[in-house]
Amino acid sequence: MEKFRKPLALFSTILAFSMLASACGKSNSNEPQSSALSTPSAESSAPASASAPASNADPVTLKFWTWHPSADLYKSVIEKFEASHPGIKVDLTVMESKDFQTKMPLALSTGEDLDVVGVQTGAMPKQIQADLLPLEDLISQTRPDWQSVISENSISQARSQADGLKFLPMASIGSMVMFYNKDILDGLGLPAPKTYEQWKAVSDKLRETKSDKLSVAVGGKDAWIMDEVAWTIAGQQSDLYNQWRYNGKKLDGPEYTQAAAGFLKVFADGIINKNDVMDMDYTSSRNAFTSGQAAFFIQGTWEANLLLDSFRKGNQVNINDVGLLPIPSVEPNGTPSIRSFIDLGLGIPAKSKHPKEAMQLIDYLIFGEGNDLLASTFAFSTNKIGFVPDASLLTTPTAQESYKTLSDLLNHPSADRNNNSPFSDVAGQLLQKMLISKVTPEETAKAIQKEFDTGKYPNE
C-alpha cells in the first residue's frame, strides 16, 4: 500500500479538482470540460496566410495524404520539390490502401486541415467530390498547356469520375499481372509461361520434384484480390466489365459464369494451390515472392518496381531476375490482358487554405519533374506523353522485355479498372466460397448478381 501513496495523492487531487469543476459548472450544465476539449493535439496548423502566394514570407506547410507509392519513394521527390519551391513545405502521410479508403473521406468530411489528397478512382470520387475544389481554373493558371502534357484519354477518364474536374491523375495502373522469379524457372529449366499449358507445366514440375517452392503466391485471403483475378480472366474473353459497370449487363449470364469457371480451373488444375494461398493476405503473398519462396506472384502493375535490380537490392529481395507477364489465357481462344484505368488522382480539399501552393505540388507530381522521378521507380505508369524511363534501370533482358509487355498491356486494356471496391470485397468472398465448397461457377455467378441486386452497393 505504501508505495501507492503518491499516485493516490495525485488521484485524489484530480478527483477533488474535477468535483470542483462539476460543482462550479452547474450553471453551464452542457459540457463541463468543454474548454479543455477543443485543443486538438494533432493540429500542426500552418500559419493562415490565406491564399497569399508563397514567396519569402512565412513558409506554407501543405498537408498531403495519400496511399501510394510508399513514403520512402516520395521522400527524395518531396525534398526536391521543397528545394525548388522555397516557402512551401510538405507534410506527407502515406496510409495503407484500405485504411486510406475509410479514413481520408472521413477526414475530409470532418474538415481536417488537408491541402492535397490522393483520390482512388472507382467508388471514391463520387463519395468525396463535394469536398473537393474544381481544378480546371487552378491548373490552367499554373500550367496553361496542361492538356497536352498528359494523355487525352487520362483526362477524359478523370472528368468522367466526378462532376467536373475534381482531381488529376498521376498515372494509370492495371491489374492483375503476373511477376515471375526467373531464378526458379531457370532452375526448373522451363520458359516464362505464355500459354496456360506452359503455366501448368511449372506447377506440375514443382510438384514432381517435390520442391519446397510455391507455384503462385497470391493474396487469397483478401477477397478483392480474388475478384480482380476473376475479372482479369473475364477480360481474356471480352469487355464484360465495362458492360456490367456502365451498361447494366448482368453477371449471371454465360460470360461471367465462364470467367468464374476459368478462375476455378486455375485452382483445380493445381496451378494455384488453394491450400497455400487461401490464408495469405496481400502482404504475406508478396513476402512469399520477395523472399524467393514462390515462382509467381499475381498482383497489380503497381508492383512493377520488382523488375528493378536496384529496388530489389535496396529492399533485401534476393532474386537475381524478375519478369512480368499477363496471366495466361485459361481458354485457348482468349487473349491475355489486364484491365487498366487512371489512378493515383490528386485533388485539393475545398477547405484547404493554400489551394495555390497545393496546385504547385500537384503540378510537380503530375506534370513536372516529380512525376518523372516517381515513374522511374516503376511504382506506376505515368500518363505523360512521351515519357521514357531511364533505360539503364532495366538491367536485364528480362526486365527490358517485361517493361515492354507492361506498356503494351496498359495501352491495350480489355476494360476499365474503374473498380467498385465495396462490391469487389463481396464478390471476392463468393468466389472464395466457390473454392472451398462445392458451389458451382454457375451458382456463384448467380449469387454475385443476386447480391448486387440487393442494392447495398451503389454502382455509379
Which of positions 203-222 make contact with other proteins (CB under 8 A)? 214, 220-222
Which of 27, 35, 56, 437: binder of other proteins (CB under 8 A)? 437
Q: Which of 386, 357, 371 is nearest to 141 (CA)?
A: 357
Site for other proteins in 404-433 (CB under 8 A): 421-422, 425, 429-430, 432-433
Q: Which helix (H) or strand (E) holds 88?
A: strand 88-94
Residue 18 in contact with other proteins, rule: CB under 8 A? yes
Q: What angle do CA 372, 378, 380 make, to 5 degrees?
A: 80
Q: How far is the CB of 343 from other proteins (least distance, A)?
A: 13
DSSP state of 27: S
Nearer to other proteins, 305 or 398 (CB): 305
Which of 76, 84, 109, 153: binder of other proteins (CB under 8 A)? 109
- Pick the piece of the chain touching other proteins (CB under 8 A) from 126-134, 177-185, 188-196, 350-358: 126-134
391-394: long-range contacts, CB 8 A cutoff, minimum separation 24? 393/308, 393/309, 393/310, 394/307, 394/308
Q: Are 214 and 273 in contact (CB under 8 A)?
A: yes
Site for other proteins in 290-319 (CB under 8 A): 290-291, 293, 302, 305, 315-317
Q: How far is the CB of 247 from other proteins (least distance, A)?
A: 20
Q: Which residue has the cell 494455384?
A: 272
Q: Are 209 and 283 in contact (CB under 8 A)?
A: no
- Pick the piece of the chain touching other proteins (CB under 8 A) from 157-165, 263-271, 321-329, 451-459: 451-459
Per-residue contact string for residues 128-167; x = within reach of other proteins by CB under 8 A? x-xx------------------------------------
Site for other proteins in 251-290 (CB under 8 A): 274-276, 278-284, 286-288, 290
Residue 320 in contact with other proteins, rule: CB under 8 A? no
Nearer to other proteins, 55 or 316 (CB): 316
Nearer to other proteins, 19 or 385 (CB): 19
Contacts of 92 (CB under 8 A, 6+ apart): 64, 65, 66, 71, 74, 78
Nearer to other proteins, 287 or 376 (CB): 287
Q: How far is the CB of 336 from other proteins (least distance, A)?
A: 25
Total residues contacting other proteins (rule CB under 8 A)?
A: 100
Q: In whole angstroms, what is the distance from residue 373 CA to residue 95 CA?
A: 21
Q: How far is the CB of 418 from other proteins (least distance, A)?
A: 13
Site for other proteins in 46-105 (CB under 8 A): 67-73, 92-99, 101-105
- Residue 278 exposure: Cα atoms within 13 Å on the Cβ side: 12
DSSP lists the bridge partners of residue 323 as 180
- Pick the piece of the chain touching other proteins (CB under 8 A) from 187-195, 352-360, 362-370, 452-460: 452-460
Q: In whole angstroms, what is the distance from residue 258 CA to residue 253 CA?
A: 9
Helices (H), 165-195: 182-188
CB atoms within 10 A of CB 424: 21
Per-residue contact string for residues 25-54; x = within reach of other proteins by CB under 8 A? -x--xxxx----xxxxxx-x----------
- Could you give the C-alpha distances from 238 to 4, 141, 351, 388, in angstroms and in order? 73, 42, 43, 30
